[in-house]
Structure 1
Amino acid sequence: MPTEPLNPDTIAAHMDSLRRAARAMTRSHHDAEDLVQDMLVKVLARPRQIGPAGTAAYLHQALRNTHISRLRTKDRRPQLAPLEPEDARLVAPAHAEPVEQLHTRELIAQIHALPTAQREVIAAVDVAGLAYNEAADVLQIPIGTVMSRLHRGRARLQSAYAAA
C-alpha cells in the first residue's frame, strides 16, 4: 500500500469541506471552528503519511477522531451543578465598604458554626426578621424554646465575636 507524506499546502483546498463536516458533528459554528483548529494542530504537529484514499479522506478521518476524543474527554470531566442563587439577606451587600463586607461574612460564618437549633432560630428572628411567634410557627417549636435558643445563640455569637 503506497503512502505519501501529507503536504500542508494542500490542506487549504479542503477547509470548506472540513468546516461543513465539523458543523454537522457539533451543531455549533463556534464549536466547529474549534474542532477544525484542534484537528489541524494535531495533524500539523508532526509529519504524516497518507494512504491511497487521499488527503481529503485522511483529514476527515482525523476530524472525526478529534471529535470523538473531545467527546470522551468531556464525558470524563465531572459535571458541574449550577449554583443556587444566594439569599440576598445572607450575604454582605456589594455596595458596602470592604471592612463591612468582611465583618458581615465573619458573622455569617459564626452563625453557620452554631448548633443547628440555635442557627435556625437566629436565622429566623435576626436574619429574616420574623417575630418570636412567627418563628415558633415556622420552626414548629414553642415560643419559649424560641426565646431560650435565641438567647443562647446570641450569647455564643457575642462571645465568639468578642474573641475574634
Structure 2
Amino acid sequence: MEGGTRQLDPESLGSHIARLYRAAYGLTGSRQDAEDLVQDTFERVLRRPRFLRRDQDVVYLLRVLRNTWISSGRAKRVATARAAEEIDEIEAPIDPITQSIEGAAVYDALQELTQPLREALVAVDVIGLSYREAARALDTKEGTIMSRLHRGRAQIAARIEAGG
C-alpha cells in the first residue's frame, strides 16, 4: 500500500448501492436497466480489485458504472416511453423527490440531455460528487464539469417550465 492507497474492500460495496442505483437510473431512465447496470458494475469491480487512494471508492465505482453503461450499449438507448406506474414502483434507494411529479419530470428531462450533460448531472446532482470528484470519474476537467452542469440544469429547467 504505497502513497496512501488501499485495496477496495468488497464488503464495503453495499454501502454504495443507493448512490450507484440513483446514478444508474439517471443514466438509463429505467428501473430494470439501472438494477442490471449496478449488478454488472459490481461484477466488474469484484473481478478486478483495485488499489485506491483514500476515500475514492465512489469516484472509482462511478467510473466503472459509466464505462459499463457505455460498453453495454445502453448509452445509445434512451428511454423514450415509460409507464407512469414504473415511477410509482421505484422504491428505495431513490429518495422521495424522485417519486413526486416534479422528480419524475426531472428524470424525464434528464433522459433528453446529451450523454456528457447527463453524466455530469448524475455525478454531481444525483449522487453528490464534488466537481473535482466528478471530473476525475468522468475523465475530464473540472471547468468542463461546471460548464456541463450549467447547460444541463438550464435545459432541464426550460423543459420543465415548458411542461415536459
- With structure 2 as the length reference, what TM-score do the two structures score? 0.41
Q: Higher relative contact order at CA 8 Å, sep ≥6: structure 1 or structure 2?
A: 2
- With structure 1 as the length reference, what TM-score do the two structures score? 0.41
